[in-house]
Amino acid sequence: MNTITTNTSTQSAVPAIGRLLLAAIFIFSGVGKALAPAGTIGYIESAGLPFATLGLIAAIAIELGGGVMLALGIKARIVALGLAIFSVVTALVFHNALGDQNQLIHFMKNIAMAGGLLQVVAFGAGAYSLDAAGSRKRVVQAA
């Protein structure tokens, strides 16, 4: 029988590391869009979507705001659900030319990110998060 023993602090750190790794791509992408808005607006327009400037603002807010909230573990489950939906929608809208290997890779990356984010939805932010800190504070105040 294979038994894996893990240290409780190691187990507690894994969800935080996972959240940081997931959040990094959103934060990086949001900053990139904020620093080069014309390219993103052009990309949105090339997909045939209306209101490209509004789309840019929404994407920056979702990616930066959601990425930072996920990294810190603030309302992690609902934020992760929102980012998962955003990832699937952007895969379907912007990376749907699956005959192009580059687009296929981007499509699969977005789908994989959604899968990881759904793990946060299912299991929460973990011990090292502001969500958990808020829970501990409420428990101490109730005692």
pTM: 0.87
What is d(CA 135, CA 73) in angstroms, rounded to the nearest whole number? Answer: 12
Helices (H), the chain: 8-35, 37-46, 52-60, 66-72, 76-94, 101-123, 130-142
Q: Nearest CA to 86 among 38, 52, 118?
A: 118
Give the pLDDT confidence score for residue 141 in this predicted structure.
59
Give the pLDDT confidence score for residue 19 in this predicted structure.
97
Per-residue model confidence as pLDDT tens digits over 90-142: 999 999 999 999 999 999 999 999 999 999 999 999 999 999 988 766 655 55
Residue 26 has pLDDT above 70, yes or no: yes
Give the pLDDT confidence score for residue 142 in this predicted structure.
57
Look up residue 126 and give its DSSP letter. -
Give the pLDDT confidence score for residue 139 in this predicted structure.
54
Position with higher pLDDT, 40 vs 138: 40
